[in-house]
Amino acid sequence: MTKEKDMTPQQKWQKERDARNAERNYNADQLSDTQRKALMDAYLAIRAADASFHEMFTADVSDMLDIDKAEYTLRSQFPQLTAEAIGDLTCTCED
């Protein structure tokens, strides 16, 4: 193993990146199965909608339904984060 002082800037960056990723992976492992599934479903819905935008320059009804389902599941699995996110939204509706 290379000593820290002998590392190139790239090697140092990779080592720090790997440490950050290890911490993130550890934290992800602490989630419940339903929370992990909610995040995976949301990620897949975002990826599918993004692909639709890139390929067809539009999203379709299945993208909308997947995003709606993912949003509902995230809201139920992460209520505190949802409350914080919604609190940051600016209401543009008329009273």
The answer as to whether 10 is a domain residue is no
pLDDT score at 1: 60
pLDDT score at 65: 95
Angstrom distance (rounded) from CA 6 to CA 13: 13
Q: What is the pLDDT along the chain (95 residues), one digit of tens a residue?
A: 668 889 999 999 999 999 999 999 999 999 999 999 999 999 999 999 999 999 988 989 999 999 999 999 999 999 998 888 888 777 777 65
Q: How many domains does the chain have?
A: 1
pLDDT score at 44: 95
The answer as to whether 21 is a domain residue is no
The answer as to whether 43 is a domain residue is yes
The answer as to whether 23 is a domain residue is no
Best CA proximity match to 73, nearest among 33, 35, 32, 18: 35
Q: Do 74 and 63 form a contact (C-beta atoms < 8 A)?
A: no
Q: Which two tokens stand for residue 85?
A: 């996110």
The answer as to whether 52 is a domain residue is yes
pLDDT score at 95: 56
27 phi and psi angles, rounded to 5 deg: -65, -40
By residue range, what is the domain housing residue 48?
33-81
